Each structure stands twice: as structure tokens, then as C-alpha cells.
Amino acid sequence: MSPILVKTLQLLLSLSILIVLHELGHFIPAKLFKTRVEKFFLFFDVKFALFKKKIGETVYGIGWLPLGGYVKISGMIDESMDKDQMAGPPQPWEFRSKPAWQRLIIMVGGVTVNLILGFVIYMMILFVWGQEQLKPEDMPHGFAVVEEMEQFGFKNGDKILSVNDKELDNALRFNSHLLVRDVSNVKVEHIDGTQETLRLPDTIGDYIFKKGLMPAFQLRTNPILDTIIADSQAEKAGLLKGDKVLAVDGKNVTFFDEIGSHLKDKPNYDTQLVVERGNQIDTITATTDEDGKLGIYSLQGGMVTPKEKKFGFGEAVWKGFAYGYWTLHDYVVQFKYIFTKEGATQVGGFGTIAKMFPSVWDWQSFWMSTALISIILAFMNILPIPALDGGHVMFLLYEMITGRKPSDKFLEYAQMIGFFLLIALLLFANGNDIYRWLSER
């Protein structure tokens, strides 16, 4: 099966699960408070539906436009913009006739379900599959460090012993810690065996992001080529996937990062690569591009073996809760980068989300991605933007605090503005995906 098809199917299944459960978060409290729910739809049924069936007072269905889903609650100003219903006198079964606290519970129900679901999935993943861990002793060759981080005391071959005096379960998360957490000190072991505690400025995350250094630390790998970028200088020189680079300009190579370090700041430079291909050793001349690069990548993780740690149910629940908390924390913190020039270019749509899933069906990876998307949806939906749940919550809180309810006309205009803002964001995000796809071709 095509990798693209596999990713697409996983994305559709994940979104279907999350959307249905999110809408149930609105549906259930609405029914408990005896509020009429006219429609419950997975995906949008613009003009027509793929399937629909009326059960009781509610029409259940599946739309054809997979951009979300909805429940249509009587007497509520929502994306349906049903002005005729709102023009009539309030009915006891309508949303607008219910006390503000009941309306608030109905509106936060979807976000609450998504948040709880993300935490529960992480708990079950840790219970069923355990957690992949990578400790310093599992990394005999340490990290390859980008040159810009050397000013803070880091060196190639460093092992990360602790961050803020705490050992990491997985050293690969060190990059995200630097970006979105307050890292003040890092204890490292250099390649010569000496240990040192490095002090970092509180602006280290902003520095890494604005410099485009993600990831600033990568596992040191064998100098075996895994990817040759199409139309790159490496491809033109005849380098192939599987080639092992033994030397560059007469200097022996042990790790892949040594190739980049040697060629850095050498644009349009003719370099001699001694390459082992099968049972033959050849010398290949390649010319770097204007950035001093050849367009080659190695196979990540080839020199380390992560360990799987299993958890009992109780420990999995606690660890899963902590994992969910920090996932939410990190996403909220990194959200600030979206409002920078560099961050705006990295906003992605459905293509970016699909890339989160593996190219072959793997249930552990599927549920990990689904949990992350669920937490992201919870956060995004609670933002105080009209047309999102958070917009409705914002107006309800205003009503509860001031005792004054915004007029229906005001809510209609707010809903319309919010709708157009969301459409613009959707177009921008997916436009970024298309632009990146075209740039890579």
C-alpha cells in the first residue's frame, strides 16, 4: 500500500475518532440539560451528506467535507447562522433558554473530552507498550552539536547527564527542553570523560528558534549515506545511498557530522571523498553548493539502541498524566513562536498533520499521534476566537460576570468574523504545505 495512502487513512481515522468524541462532549451535557440537538455530524454536510438518519429529534450523519464536525443545538448562534430560528420567541428546549452555567458546561464539553482523551491515550500507551528511553550510557558517541551552540560550552560528542539537575528519560527530548522549557543549567560529559555544568541564558529557546537551529543536537551517526537530495551536488557527483564515507580531503571520517564540519563555510568548494561502496573503495570529487553543503543525510539512530521500559498500571497512569501535562505545556509555550516571522512559515495544515503518522501502519505510533492531536485540538478550540468553543465560552463568562447577555445581532457578527478568520488561517496553513511540497520537488 502506498505510504501516502497509509498516512491519509491514519489521519482520517484519527480525526474521525477525535471529532466524534469532541462532539459527544457537547451532545451529552446538552441532552442532560434537556436541550434539543437537531444534528450530530462527522465532517460537514455542505449541500449534501454521505449518510444521515434521524433518530428521535436528532439527525445523525456523515458529511463529505472532512474539515471537522458539529452538533447543531436549537437556539444557539453557531456556524449554521440559522437566523429564522433565532427570530422566534425562546423555547424551553433551546440553548438560549438555559441558565448560563448550563450553557457553559455544554460549550466546554468538547474541549474537556479532547483533553481527557489525550491524557488517557498516553496512559494506555505506557501501560501496553511502555516507553522508549535513551540514557547517557546508551549513547557511547554522544551528540553532534551545531556550531552555534559551542559558545555556550557544548562540544561534539557531549552526553547530556542532567537538565536543571534532573536526568532525562530520553536524551532526544533535550532539543524540545531547550526550546520550550526554562533550562538554566545542563550537566554534560565531554568526549574526553570530563564533566561540566553549563549555565544557559533564559533566552536560549528564542535564540535557537530564531537562528533555525532545530535540532541543535543530533545523535552522532555512522558516515553512511541514507538520503541523497534530488538534483543536489551529491547526486551530480554520483554519490549513492549506502555509500560509506571513509575520508574527506585526506582526513579520516568516523562520524557523519565530521563531513559537515569540514565543509562548513566552504561554498563552491571541490572536495575529495573516499567512499566505500560494496567491496570497492573509490574517490569521488564533489562540489559544495553556495551554502557549503552537498545535500546528503545519514541514517539517524544507527549507533544507539534505545531501551523499552515497561510500567504497571498504576505507574502508567501517573507517568501518562505527567506526559500529557508536559505535552500540553510544551505546545502552549511554543505557540508564541507562531507570531514570529520564522514561526509563521512553519504553520502547517492537513499535510503537516499527516506527516505525523508513519508510512506503515503502526498502532503505537498511531495512538501517540492521535493523543497529541487531541491535546492540540483542545487547546486550539478553547482560544477566545468567535466560531470556536473558546469564543462562546468568552461571551458566556462575560454574561456571568456582568449579568448582561450580548445581543443576538452582536453574536451573529462575531460568529461571522470568527468564521472568516478560521477560513483564512486554514487557507494559510494548507498554502504553506503546498508551498513546501513544491519547493521540495
**Residues 50, 140: Cα–Cα separation, whole Å:** 56
- State the pLDDT at residue 441: 59
Q: Find out if CATH 2.40.320 is the number for domain 132-219.
A: no
pLDDT tens sequence across 172-182: 899 999 999 99
Q: Which grid coordinates belong to 278?
A: 560494496
Residue 327 phi, psi (nearest 5) = -65, -45
Residue 402 phi, psi (nearest 5) = -95, -20
With a CB cutoff of 8 Å and minimum separation 6, the contacts of 58 are: 37, 38, 39, 40
> If pLDDT is split at 50, 70 and 90, which confidence band does 54 have?
very high
Instruction: Give the domain 224-298 fold.
Output: Pdz3 Domain (2.30.42)
pLDDT tens sequence across 358-368: 889 999 999 99
For the chain, what are the domain ranges?
A: 3-23+66-128+367-440, 132-219, 224-298
> Is the confidence at residue 111, as pLDDT, over 80?
yes
Do 132-219 and 224-298 share a fold?
A: yes
Secondary structure (3-state) at 362: coil
**Residues 366, 87: Cα–Cα separation, whole Å:** 46
What is the length of the chain?
441
**Residues 295, 309: Cα–Cα separation, whole Å:** 37
